[in-house]
């Protein structure tokens, strides 16, 4: 609702969002002026226009609302790592759930936390109410139906006492069930609490009892957070928003230094680090750093961050007032003892660090190590795998392979003396080559267990040849003559 009003020019006339409903368009959300004029939710637009002829309407955008709510939940990550959007059945019921266990101390108490949160959310242009309670259900109920008073929020410690005066709608029930309860004269949660549980379940089903227990804390309810909570995180908050990306880089460096101190205390090294910036206008930007080997060297992480920052496309916008560095993936990394042989291990580590820097600057997957695969297919036997550590020992194989391998093999026109002999002449890349020396064939059958059904499985006969000029190529003839094909094709698969 408020998203739409912010987009429209300011106007004092009543305003409503409409969405298709039963029997035509119905009001989806209404502004306070419209409520004063007598409009209500889910009223037909024709009826509403009859009551308030000057009503302005716009089509509702539920998808956009949901995305905006998710953004808001992410933005609330500045208060607690455990946040989740809670899209309600109707627009005014949507909210953000947060687990602030242990967070209040950081902000100087629950009161200050809620005050600050509401102030910030209102500064974004939203009308907001908040509540803090021992259970998610009770907080939900209080935020929507509780007496918030002048400050706009309420907090409760005693679940039974706080829930009793609230209406049954506060229990997150379907409108039909609320209507049924009200028909029986059960209009408050307190009235339900007084009734025997068995009778309630028999009459209204288990859902009612579950919701009641959730609000009272009898049943455990956890929220599934929008983003997985990192094991370790460090954040830096600024009184004045940072405007330039350079200063954001400095802030990230600061946060990374703190994160490394935390990692050292825990005896861990980070493999993945997420850097998040929270903008003053409610936007959130994030980038990730990856390391090939566990790292808690802040200088290395800061270097990676600076390489990434140039290309991550982050935007400081109207200013950044909070940055966070979180270790998403950690491994034990014990404090190293100086080895008698200083080079042992240090070289592998240097290679891993170099890989990190190359990946950070050139894009993930830029640096690759050789990986040995137990296969006879030449293109599979030795592969380049990014992000993996180099093998300690390369297996010694008897097959002779060229220095360079073409992927995919390129067709060549070749002339052979006998059907399964080596080529005598071949034309590749528009140049004719005359073969002076040749060795082979090395027959490699396709790996039938890896073939996709229907694909042609042809045996390859590989020849190492040297041209009259001394150039070496690696050719193969695809298909056994007569048995697999009538016209075997020639391909150049390697050189050198």
Only one of the segments 106-114, 216-224, 271-279, 343-351 lies at the binding site for other proteins (rule: CB under 8 A); that segment is: 343-351
CB of 272 to other proteins, least distance (A): 21
Only one of the segments 5-13, 189-197, 323-331, 389-397 lies at the binding site for other proteins (rule: CB under 8 A); that segment is: 389-397
Contact between 443 and 460 under an 8 Å Cβ cutoff? The reply is yes
Q: b or e along 130-140 (b: 16 or more beta carbons within 10 Å of the residue's beta carbon)?
A: bbbbbbbbbbb
382 binds other proteins, rule: CB under 8 A = yes
| Separation of alpha carbons 104 and 136, rounded Å | 16
| Separation of alpha carbons 233 and 264, rounded Å | 13
Joined together, the tokens standing for residue 190 give 């307190």
Contact between 352 and 389 under an 8 Å Cβ cutoff? The reply is yes
CB of 290 to other proteins, least distance (A): 16
Contacts of 292 (CB under 8 A, 6+ apart): 352, 353, 355, 356, 359, 387, 388, 389
431 binds other proteins, rule: CB under 8 A = yes
439 binds other proteins, rule: CB under 8 A = yes
Between 81 and 441, CB nearer to other proteins = 441
Q: Counting beta carbons within 10 angstroms of the beta carbon of residue 157, is it exposed (0 to 12), middle (13 to 18) or buried (19 or more)?
A: exposed
Between 247 and 386, CB nearer to other proteins = 386
CA distances from 50 to 66, 212, 425, 466 (A): 31, 41, 91, 92
Q: Where are the beta strands (DSSP E) in 91-183?
A: 95-99, 130-132, 153-155
| Separation of alpha carbons 205 and 253, rounded Å | 55
Please state the φ and ψ torsions of residue 367, each to the nearest 5 degrees. -105, 135
Count of residues engaged in binding other proteins, rule: CB under 8 A: 66
Helix (H, G, I), strand (E, B) or coil at 198: helix
Q: b or e along 457-480 (b: 16 or more beta carbons within 10 Å of the residue's beta carbon)?
A: ebbbbbbbbebeeeeebbbbbbbb
444 binds other proteins, rule: CB under 8 A = no
432 binds other proteins, rule: CB under 8 A = no
Between 106 and 388, CB nearer to other proteins = 388
- Kindly state the greatest CA–CA separation across the chain: 103
| Separation of alpha carbons 476 and 325, rounded Å | 53
369 binds other proteins, rule: CB under 8 A = yes
36 binds other proteins, rule: CB under 8 A = no
496 binds other proteins, rule: CB under 8 A = yes
488 binds other proteins, rule: CB under 8 A = no
Between 139 and 465, CB nearer to other proteins = 465
Between 240 and 347, CB nearer to other proteins = 347
Half-sphere exposure of 398 (CA within 13 A, CB side): 1
CB of 289 to other proteins, least distance (A): 16
46 binds other proteins, rule: CB under 8 A = no
Helix (H, G, I), strand (E, B) or coil at 467: strand
354 binds other proteins, rule: CB under 8 A = yes
Contact between 360 and 307 under an 8 Å Cβ cutoff? The reply is yes
CB of 416 to other proteins, least distance (A): 7
Build a one-symbol-per-residue string for 156-195: x at contacts with other proteins by CB under 8 A, - elsewhere.
----------------------------------------
93 binds other proteins, rule: CB under 8 A = no
- Crossing angle (nearest 10°) for helices 206-216 and 197-204: 130
- 66 closest CA partner among 96, 44, 40, 36: 96
Between 245 and 438, CB nearer to other proteins = 438
Q: Which of 3, 49, 401, 458 binds other proteins (CB under 8 A)?
A: 401
390 binds other proteins, rule: CB under 8 A = yes
262 binds other proteins, rule: CB under 8 A = no
Between 318 and 394, CB nearer to other proteins = 394
416 binds other proteins, rule: CB under 8 A = yes
Only one of the segments 16-24, 213-221, 462-470, 483-491 lies at the binding site for other proteins (rule: CB under 8 A); that segment is: 462-470
Between 288 and 361, CB nearer to other proteins = 361
Joined together, the tokens standing for residue 282 give 């409610």
Contacts of 437 (CB under 8 A, 6+ apart): 465, 466
4 binds other proteins, rule: CB under 8 A = no
370 binds other proteins, rule: CB under 8 A = yes
Between 177 and 368, CB nearer to other proteins = 368
Between 260 and 292, CB nearer to other proteins = 292
- 275 closest CA partner among 257, 256, 261, 247: 256
Between 202 and 397, CB nearer to other proteins = 397
358 binds other proteins, rule: CB under 8 A = yes
CB of 308 to other proteins, least distance (A): 14
Give the interface with other proteins as residue ranges (CB under 8 A). 347, 350-351, 353-355, 357-358, 361-363, 365-370, 372, 378, 381-384, 390-394, 396-397, 399-407, 416-418, 421-422, 424, 431, 433, 435-441, 463-466, 468-472, 494-496
């Amino acid at each position: 609702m408020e998203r739409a009003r912010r987009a429209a020019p300011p106007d004092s006339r009543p305003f409503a969002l409409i969405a298709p409903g039963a029997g035509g368009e119905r009001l989806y959300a209404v502004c306070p002026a419209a409520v004063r004029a007598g409009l209500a939710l889910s009223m037909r637009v024709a009826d509403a226009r009859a009551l308030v002829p000057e009503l302005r309407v716009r089509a509702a955008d539920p998808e956009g609302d949901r995305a905006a709510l998710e953004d808001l939940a992410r933005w609330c990550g500045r208060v607690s790592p455990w946040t989740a959007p809670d899209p309600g059945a109707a627009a005014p019921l949507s909210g953000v759930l947060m687990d602030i266990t242990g967070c209040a101390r950081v902000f100087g108490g629950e009161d200050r936390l809620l005050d600050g949160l509401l102030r910030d959310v209102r500064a974004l242009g939203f009308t907001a109410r908040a509540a803090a309670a021992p259970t998610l259900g009770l907080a939900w109920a209080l935020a929507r139906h509780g007496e918030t008073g002048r400050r706009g929020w309420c907090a409760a410690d005693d679940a039974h006492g706080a829930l009793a005066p609230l209406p049954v709608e506060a229990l997150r029930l379907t409108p039909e069930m609320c209507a049924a309860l009200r028909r029986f004269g059960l209009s408050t949660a307190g009235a339900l609490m007084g009734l025997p549980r068995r009778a309630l379940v028999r009459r209204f089903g288990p859902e009612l009892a579950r919701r009641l227990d959730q609000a009272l804390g009898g049943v455990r309810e956890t929220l599934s957070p929008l983003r997985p909570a990192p094991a370790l995180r460090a954040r830096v908050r600024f009184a004045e928003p940072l405007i330039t990306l350079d200063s954001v880089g400095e802030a990230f460096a600061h946060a990374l230094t703190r994160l490394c101190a935390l990692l050292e205390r825990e005896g861990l090294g980070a493999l993945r680090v997420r850097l998040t910036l929270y903008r003053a206008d409610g936007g959130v930007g994030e980038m990730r750093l990856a390391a090939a080997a566990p790292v808690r060297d802040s200088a290395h992480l800061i270097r990676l961050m600076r390489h990434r920052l140039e290309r991550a496309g982050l935007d400081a916008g109207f200013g950044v007032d909070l940055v966070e560095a979180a270790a998403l993936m950690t491994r034990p990394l014990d404090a190293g003892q100086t080895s008698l042989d200083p080079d042992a291990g240090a070289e592998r580590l240097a290679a891993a660090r170099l890989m990190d820097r190359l990946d950070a600057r050139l894009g993930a997957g830029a640096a690759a190590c050789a990986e040995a695969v137990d296969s006879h297919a030449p293109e599979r036997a030795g592969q380049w795998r990014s992000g993996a550590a180099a093998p300690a020992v390369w297996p010694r194989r008897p097959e002779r392979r060229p220095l360079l391998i073409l992927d995919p093999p390129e067709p060549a026109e070749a002339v052979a003396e006998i059907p399964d002999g080596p080529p005598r002449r071949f034309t590749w890349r528009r140049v004719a080559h005359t073969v002076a020396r040749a060795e082979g064939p090395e027959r490699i059958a396709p790996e039938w267990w890896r073939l996709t059904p229907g694909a042609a499985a042809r045996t390859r006969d590989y020849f190492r040849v040297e041209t009259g000029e001394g150039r070496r190529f690696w050719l193969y003839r695809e298909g056994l003559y007569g048995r697999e094909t009538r016209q075997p094709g020639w391909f150049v698969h390697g050189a050198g």
